[in-house]
Amino acid sequence: MLWNWNTIDSCFLASSWHITSSGMFAGSCIGVILLTMSLEFLRRTGKEYDRYLVRKHSSTPVAAMPTSSRDSDSKDAIASSAPMNSGVGHSGGFRPTIFEQAIRALLHMVQFAVAYFIMLLAMYFNGYIIICIFIGAYIGAFVFHWEYMDGGRSATSASQEPTVCCA
């Protein structure tokens, strides 16, 4: 694999995605931008669904919670029911229902799949496609990560979920 700027006669992911004209390549570039934007949309959707679950749980009366979550003597039961990184302390922690967790897992799986397709496209080392990935990431972040900032009381999505490997 070598860095290239090929347009006509390029092939991506499958033999059926064979570029035979400038129009096809332009359409592919637009598709890559939209695919990358969809990844940012999925990231935001996952965050918003988690926020929805936290709001939903915080409006649920304590009496409706399972006994293991109400038991103040059993710190292990409370700690095991608190989701990681939910922003809810141990005393207010909860575990999503199996249906809610299935939705969370589905959102994660689709996000993971889209991210891998984008990675595979980048591995063709086509300069135009890589630039389109960057453009899609920029536009997607601009549109889908435009969040309310509450003056430093909670971190923004940029600091909560960096894209770098080791942060």
Instruction: Tell me the pLDDT tens digit for each residue of 118-145.
Output: 999 999 999 999 999 999 999 999 999 9
- Whether residue 107 is predicted with pLDDT greater than 90 in this model: the reply is yes
Long-range contacts of the stretch 76-83 (C-beta < 8 A, 24+):
none
Beta bridge partners of residue 11, listed in sequence order:
18
**Cβ pair 22, 7 in contact under 8 A:** yes
* Range among 8-22, 34-48, 76-90 rated most confident: 34-48
Instruction: Indicate the pLDDT class of residue 95, thresholds 50, 70 and 90.
Output: very high
Instruction: Indicate the pLDDT class of residue 75, thresholds 50, 70 and 90.
Output: very low
Confidence (pLDDT) at 143: 97
Nearest to 85 by CA among 55, 52, 47: 47
Calpha distance 166→84 (Å, rounded): 18
- Whether residue 15 is predicted with pLDDT greater than 90 in this model: the reply is no
- Give the domain ranges of the chain: 26-144
Kindly give, in sequence order, each residue whose CB lies less than 8 Å from that of residue 122, ignoring residues fewer than 6 positions away.
129, 130, 133
Confidence (pLDDT) at 91: 55
pTM higher than 0.85 for the full model? no
